[in-house]
Amino acid sequence: MMECSNTNNNSNCPQSCINSRFDSMIENCCEYAERAREAGKPIIGIMCEYTPRELIMAAGGIPVCLCGGSEEKIAPAENDLPTALCPLIKSTYGYCCTQTNPFLEMSDLLVAETTCDGKKKMYELMARRKDMMVLELPQKPDAPHAMDHWLSELRRFRSFLETRYDRKIADAGIWKAIETMNLERALRRRLAEMNKQTPSVWSGLQLLAYKSIISGIDEDLEEYRRLIACGANAAGSEKQSCVRVLLTGVPTVHGAERVVEIIENAGGAVVCMENCTGIKPLLEDVSMDASDPMEALASKYMHLPCSVMTPNTRRLEILRRLADEYDAECVIELVWQGCLTYDVESYYVRQIAEEMSLPYLKLVTDYSPSDSARIALRVEALMETALRAQA
Ligand code: SF4
Ligand code: SF4
């Protein structure tokens, strides 16, 4: 195993960076959500980055991400769902059928989108327990009608929230929420972009930890600022022997960080994560120049380059750019078993890596640690190849 200090235990990074408020993120969010509920604010569960949190916030609600990262919840989910389904979907549902996600239990409403088939059908089962609003997401992002349809779905969502919570959602309230979300995106983007430098500042595991399942909490925004200042004063964490990794593919939600850990233990420095738990949702802000906040929201969220879109050329353009900006030395693609859209799209990602002369590795796995040793061997072989390519 190669030596690399780009881990959470990085001794070059001040202790104050390593010990972060986000270490207690779930507890903090639980407390925050409980207080909000007591104050009469509805908790609204979301399960995808296409959901405009801004509309929920403008309606006085608290958007909470419910995506499951626990392997334990998969077996109970398989009583109702096919085993071949993606672990993220099964884990999310497993929390639902075992009633063990406090945020889901607290939720007054769930918001879902028509993304991949597995999620869409799982939502039908989940909707038996909680009220659910399903937004119909067009999947040809550049088709002329797509934006009109998405905008009309978001307007329908706004009216739905107004009726359900018996309050008018003013444009001013939406702009205020947009401002908060843009600020959060900007801070998280700055944090992530500190890894453009060599040596990089943060390990992939640190960046995964430095975020919250509830957006816009004041103390979290302050913590992002503190971490940015802390990182700016830290000596770079990455040793010369590390290989700079661009990780792409499926989200690695809270609890499902195993592959990132394996990569970093095997000598990789995960300098950039182009996925929904990494930089993908942070790359574009909501424009504050538009006259209609709903159009501004529709445009930002429609541009999110998920593999459920066809064609998904934006993701490929972004990958080229990120590989360049973060000085990636290899590309690792993570695909959850049963995720057909990312699996098929890996054809293009491999092509891009080849065009850029970057060693490429595709890992197809689930939440079980049973294949960790095999994955570590494959990652170590990739690191050797990348180091040889640099020599
Ligand atoms: S990968 Fe696609 S479906 Fe999954 S959270 Fe991101 S946008 Fe939603
Ligand atoms: S990882 Fe793939 S299959 Fe799983 S929820 Fe996301 S898009 Fe769907």
Ligand 1: nearest atom to the Cα of 47: 5
204 within 8 A of 263, measured Cβ to Cβ: yes
66 within 8 A of 47, measured Cβ to Cβ: yes
Q: According to the model, what pLDDT value does residue 19 have?
A: 85
**Domains with residue ranges and CATH for the chain:** 24-173 (3.40.50.11890)
What number of other Cβ atoms are within 10 A of residue 219's Cβ? 10
Residues of the chain with pLDDT below 70 are 1-16, 235-240
Sheet with 109-113: strands ordered across: 62-65, 43-46, 109-113, 132-135
The pair of structure tokens assigned to 66 is 């419910």
What number of other Cβ atoms are within 10 A of residue 151's Cβ? 17
Ligand nearest to the CA of 119: 2
Name the β-bridge partners of 336: 365
Residue with CA nearest ligand 1 atom 4: 48
The residue with tokens 């028509």 is: 114
Q: According to the model, what pLDDT value does residue 241 have?
A: 75
C-beta of 49 in contact with ligand 1 (< 6 A): yes
Residue with CA nearest ligand 2 atom 7: 116
Ligand 1: nearest atom to the Cα of 88: 4
Nearest-CA neighbor of 57 among 167, 148, 144?
Answer: 167
Q: Which amino acid is at 85?
A: L
pTM of the model: 0.95
Cα dist from 231 to 14, 202, 203, 223, 257, whole Å: 8, 8, 11, 12, 22
C-beta of 88 in contact with ligand 1 (< 6 A): no
Residue with CA nearest ligand 2 atom 2: 339
Phi, psi of 253 (to 5 degrees): -75, 170
Q: According to the model, what pLDDT value does residue 11 have?
A: 41
The pair of structure tokens assigned to 322 is 């990120």
pLDDT in tens, 291-318: 999 999 999 999 999 999 999 999 999 9
Q: How far is the CA of 10 from the centre of ligand 1 (A)?
A: 31
Nearest-CA neighbor of 381 among 368, 363, 364, 357?
Answer: 363
